[in-house]
Amino acid sequence: MDAEEPIELPAIGRARNTLFRRLVDIVSMPSTTRLAHQDRHMAGDILLDMLFHADDKDRAMCAHRLATSGEAPRRLLRYLAQCKFEIARPLLEQNESFDGCDLREIAMTGSPEHRLAIARRKVVPDCVSEYLAEFGEVHVIRDLVANAGAVLPEQAMDKLVIRAKEEPSLCAALIERLEVRPSHAMTLFWWADGQTRRKILQRHAADRLEVIESCKDVFEMMARENWSDPVARKALQLIERRQRNRAALEKSPYDSLEGAINAAAINGMTAELAQEIGYLAGIKPVTAAKIMTDAGGEALAVLCKATGVKRDFLPVLWAALRRPLELEEGVIHPQFAHVAETYEILPVAKAQTTLRYWNWSLSSAFSPTSAQLQKETPDPANEEAVFSTAQRTARLVFGR
C-alpha cells in the first residue's frame, strides 16, 4: 500500500489578513473613484468589526492609511483615534474629518498624549477647548492657549482664568488671546507678572466715556432718592466719574488723601490708616487692603493715578508700606522703578476704570445684599453666584 501523501493544510489567517487589507484599500479610496458611498460605509462596518480582533500592528497600519482620508466612516476613525496613542497619532495630527463631538469624546476617553495632540490641531472647536480647559492639564492648556486655531468660548476662558491662579505663567499667553474679556484680564492681574500686568492695564481698561455720558442723569435721580437702592448704587460705583470721596474727607482727621499718605510714611502704615486712605480714595476697605498688600505694587500705581495723587507721593506711599526704594544709595530699586514707570504710562481714565472695577468686583465677596439675593432666588437662571462677573472675580481673588 502506497504511503499516504501528506495533506497540505491552509495557512492560518491568510484569508483574514488578505480580507483585512482589501477592506482598508476600499475604505481609503479617494473620493475621485467611482466607489459608491454605501459600499464604502458597508466596508467600513466590516473593517471595524475585524479591527476589534486585530493586533496593534494592523490597527496602526489602518490608522496610517486613513490619516488623510476625508471619506472614511467617522465611527471607524473614532475607534482608531481612541486606541493607543501610537496608533491614534497620525489621525489626530492629520485627519480633518473629526467634528467637535468626535474630538471631545476622544479627549474624554484618551490619554494626556491624545489631549495634547488635540490641543495642537489646526482647528480646535469651542466645545473641545472648553473640555480641555476643564480637565486642567497644564502642558495641554499651554499648547491650547498658544494655538491660534483653537476657539476659546467664554466658558473655557473662565476655566482658564481659574487655572492660571495656580499656574501664573499661563497669564501672559491668555492676555494675548482675542477672546479675553476685560473681566478676565482684571482678574488675571492679581496673579500675573509685572510685564503682563502692564499689558492688562494698557489694553483692557476702558475710559467709560460713553457709559458715563449715557448714564449721567441717573446720578441725579439717585441723589433725589438718597441713594437708597442698593442694586443701582452698586452698579453706579463702576460708572461714576469722580474718584475721591468728598463725604469721607469731611469726616477725616486728615486734610486730604495726600495728608493721610504722609501720616502713614511718618507713623507707619496701620490697618486703620490703610482703611482711611481707602475711604478718602473712594474705595472700600477690602479693596484698599488688597491694593496695599499687593506683592508687585502695580496696584499702588493704579490707586495713585486714579485718585490724582501726584507722582511725588508714590514713593511716599511705597516707603510707608516699608518697601525698599533703593538697592543702595543712589540706585533705585528695580521693583519701584517698574511701579513708577507704570504710573507714568497709565492714563488717568484707564486707571480710574481699573480701580473702580476692582472696588465693584472685590467687594462682592462681602456683600450681604448679594448673599440675601442668592437665598431668595434658587432658580439657576437668577443665581448671582453663578453668573455674576463680580461674584466670580471676588471668589477667585479671595479664594472663596
- Pair type for strands 331-332 and 326-328: antiparallel
**Euclidean distance between CA atoms 269 and 275, whole angstroms:** 10
Indicate the residue type of 325.
L
Query: By mean pLDDT, which of 23-32, 230-239, 366-375 is the weakest?
Result: 366-375
- Mean pLDDT over 96-116 rounds to 96
Q: Whole-angstrom Cα distance, residue 9 to residue 218?
A: 95
Please tell me the predicted confidence (pLDDT) of residue 132.
97
Predicted structure pTM score: 0.81
Confidence bin at 2 (pLDDT 50/70/90): low
pLDDT of res. 219: 84
Residues 4-39 pLDDT 10s: 666 654 555 889 999 999 999 999 998 777 888 899
pLDDT at 88 over 80: yes
Taking only Cα atoms into account, the Rg of the chain, rounded to an integer number of angstroms, comes to 31
Q: Is pLDDT at 341 greater than 50 in this prediction? A: yes
Of 121-125, 165-169, 330-334, 362-366, give the lowest mean pLDDT range.
362-366
Residue 158's pLDDT band (boundaries 50, 70, 90)?
very high
Mean pLDDT, the chain, as a whole number? 88
Per-residue cell: 97 = 474629518
Give the residue from 151, 177, 150 showing the smallest Cα distance to 164.
177
Query: What pLDDT, in 10s, does the model give residues 240-277?
Result: 777 888 889 999 999 999 999 999 999 999 999 999 99
The answer on pLDDT for 227 being more than 90 is: no
Q: How confident is the model at residue 386 (pLDDT cuts 50, 70, 90)?
A: low
8 Å CB contact between 44 and 27: yes
pLDDT band, residue 61 (cuts 50/70/90): very high
User: What pLDDT is recorded for position 204?
Assistant: 85
Question: If we measure between CA atoms, which residue out of 279, 292, 286 comes closest to residue 322?
Answer: 292
Q: Give percent above pLDDT 70 in the chain.
A: 89
pLDDT: which is higher, 8 or 123: 123
Which residues lie closer than 8 Å to 115 by C-beta, 6 or more apart? 107, 132, 135, 137, 140
* Residue 371 clears pLDDT 80, i.e. is over it: no
80-112 as b/e: b if 16+ CB within 10 A: bbbbebebbbbbbeebebbebebbbbbbeebee
